[in-house]
Amino acid sequence: MGERLVRVARVYADERGGEGGHRYVLMCLVALQDPGLTVFPTHRLLTSLTDDQRVALRDAIQRDWEIAEVGAGELQPEAASDGTIRVGYLDAHHQRPLMLTLKDPAIADAALPGMPEPYRRLDTAVLEALVLEGALGMTEDDISHLHGLDYARDTEQARSRVESGEVEAAFFMSPTPVERVRDVAAAGVNMPPKSTYFFPKVLTGMLFNPLT
């Protein structure tokens, strides 16, 4: 169950007060060591940019990232075992598939002061700090309420939305290794939003908790 749903359940239980079924939530627990457990990536889509934001985005990419052209089918990077941060990039204007590689881990360290090392090696965290918040000026509220931002679970879906002009650009993320999720949790911090799309998913909608 996602952290947000847990928070909602807790708030509801506190509002109802007292004891009862509202104090309990159905959950499914899976061992991190399960060989069938996988984390799929969730790609980031930019839905609206001002002229100033477009300039800031271009400057941030040129400053912090090494840029290489790739094939359209190579936009989703593989998870790097050495901690290298790579993200695919495609925008609706140029429509040139690019692979962005962070020039130096020190850039991530400076952008995420006070965060543990496993967190500073997450592509989602680095992209959020350097691009979404740093270059584009998005706030945590903007990110959580999808102001100028959207997500895609599938690489082809993200590509088609950019190529059709429905969104302005897409950042293609790599799948987060389960071990990295464990290390971040052991360091006492939460993963960035939309970083843990665990698969397989448990079927939902079969059982309901009565609210009255």
Ordered domains of the chain (ranges, CATH)? 39-177+184-196 (3.30.1760)
* Digit-coded pLDDT (tens) for 113-170: 999 999 999 999 999 999 999 999 999 999 988 999 999 999 999 999 999 999 999 9
**Listed residue (175, 180, 133, 142) closest to 43, CA to CA:** 175
Measured distance CA(112)–CA(17) in Å, rounded: 39
Tokens 């847990």 locate to 6
Q: Which of 26, 18, 22 is nearest to 1 (CA)?
A: 26
CA distance 166 to 194: 21
Q: Is 69 in a helix, a strand, or coil?
A: strand
Rounded distance, CA 157 to CA 44, Å?
11
Q: What is the mean pLDDT of each run of 10 residues along the chain (212 residues)?
A: 74 90 82 86 96 97 98 92 91 97 97 96 96 96 92 96 97 93 93 86 70 62
pLDDT at 207: 67
